[in-house]
Amino acid sequence: MNSLYPLKFQPLFREKIWGGHKIRTLLGLDFGTLSNCGEAWVLSGVPGNQTLVTNGFLEGNELNELVEIYMGDLVGDEVYEKYGDEFPILLKFVDSNEYLSIQVHPDDYLARKRHSANGKTEMWIILDADPGAELISGFSTKVDKETYLIYLKEKRLREILHSETVKKGDVFFTPAGRVHAIGPGILLAEIQQTSDITYRIYDWDRVDEKGHSRELHTDLALDALDFTVLPEYKTHYTLRENGTTSLIKSEHFITNLIDVQIPLKKDYGELDSFVIYLCTEGSFRLVYDEGDISVKTGESVLIPNILNLVGILPMPSARILEVYIH
């Protein structure tokens, strides 16, 4: 059997009523003839929406096929034991030209009970934001279910939600149960559990070209919502130049930010997990025992668990999200 190597994938592009063009203009990804590309799924094992390998002898294979064949060698023994043949992380770019719906995602317990699927905990890092762009994350005022439903019925929901103006580099962690919505003028990278379950709460009374509004999930969302009010919803960090900065540590994924202008070596010998690099700025060459591979803005590369030592050679600089499971 040929040896595993760093894998690149062909993104899947999604037309969205609220989408725009920044995935092409700022990330350099060609989404073809779509008029409003809202999402690029850059690495996905979601059944029916799997990304395909684009390099090496495994070209054309779906992600979960590789997990099934290579098991722990690809994803790590503990990861394979926990998640089986489904790759556990989904990476996206999201470009919002209008407000996304106000929504919530179920946790693992609720998602498995209702849908036999994973819950959806996610995080965002803002890659570009128009002046004054904002998003919704969590509640600003303590309410119970009955009060919440009154605000929803009267279309005053924003009065009890926390809005925040964002800028490039801002990070938000959105555990399952937290109400949220991305506002217009934002391009972000999203790391999440492998799940496509969204409960739409309010869609700004939008209709499509046929005059139809999108389905709302008021009852399903009610039991999924966490009404806890936090003093802060943004994640704060201090960027470490030419090093690795911790962004998010959760039971579902760990995300770090690697900022490099000089060559960097990484040793994953103690880690029993795959590692994903998602390049959000610049470009670099990923060097490993048997060769090297180029990665540019908008591209991801999956480093198999059996590759312990890699080098990052910036060309001439790069910002990279590093994602794995502990």
User: Do 205 and 317 belong together in one domain?
Assistant: no
Lowest-confidence range among 23-32, 199-208, 220-229, 278-287? 199-208
CA atoms of 22 and 280, how far apart (whole Å): 13
* Structure-token match 């934002």, residue found: 186
User: Do 167 and 275 belong together in one domain?
Assistant: no
CA atoms of 218 and 18, how far apart (whole Å): 21
Identify the pLDDT of residue 294.
98
- Element holding 63 (H helix, E strand): helix 63-70
CB 182 within 8 A of CB 100: yes
Final residue of a structural domain among 233, 259, 281: 233
Start-to-end CA distance of the chain, whole Å, equals 28
Check whether 209 has a pLDDT greater than 90: no
Gyration radius of the chain over CA positions: 20
Identify the pLDDT of residue 210.
87
User: Do 192 and 55 belong together in one domain?
Assistant: yes
Reading the block at residue 298, the tokens are: 């908008």
Residue percentage of the chain with pLDDT more than 70:
100
Final residue of a structural domain among 164, 198, 233: 233
Identify the pLDDT of residue 207.
85
Average pLDDT, the chain: 96
pLDDT in tens, 75-112: 999 999 999 999 999 999 999 999 999 999 999 999 99
User: Do 175 and 80 belong together in one domain?
Assistant: yes
Type of residue numbered 320: I
Identify the pLDDT of residue 285.
98
Residue 298 maps to a domain: yes
Model confidence at 1, pLDDT cuts 50, 70, 90, reads low
Residue 4 maps to a domain: no
Coil/strand/helix, residue 74: helix
Residue 209 maps to a domain: yes
Domain holding 248: CATH number?
2.60.120.10
User: Do 162 and 269 belong together in one domain?
Assistant: no
Model confidence at 74, pLDDT cuts 50, 70, 90, reads very high
User: Do 126 and 32 belong together in one domain?
Assistant: yes
- Element holding 234 (H helix, E strand): strand 234-235
Identify the pLDDT of residue 208.
80
Q: Which of 24, 156, 178, 200 is catalytic?
A: 200
User: Do 222 and 314 belong together in one domain?
Assistant: no
- E-assigned strand segments in 65-207: 89-96, 102-104, 122-129, 134-139, 161-165, 171-174, 180-182, 186-193, 199-202
Check whether 175 has a pLDDT greater than 90: yes
pLDDT in tens, 215-248: 999 999 999 999 999 999 999 999 999 999 999 9
Residue 3 maps to a domain: no
User: Do 184 and 164 belong together in one domain?
Assistant: yes
Section 11-25 average pLDDT: 96
pTM: 0.95
- What's the structural domain count of the chain? 2
Type of residue numbered 6: P
Domain limits at 254? Answer: 243-324
Task: Specify whether 200 is catalytic.
Answer: yes
Model confidence at 306, pLDDT cuts 50, 70, 90, reads very high
Final residue of a structural domain among 172, 206, 233: 233
φ/ψ bin of 17: left (φ > 0), alpha (ψ from -120 to 50), beta (otherwise): alpha
Check whether 282 has a pLDDT greater than 70: yes
CA atoms of 138 and 174, how far apart (whole Å): 9
Identify the pLDDT of residue 218.
95
CA atoms of 118 and 110, how far apart (whole Å): 9
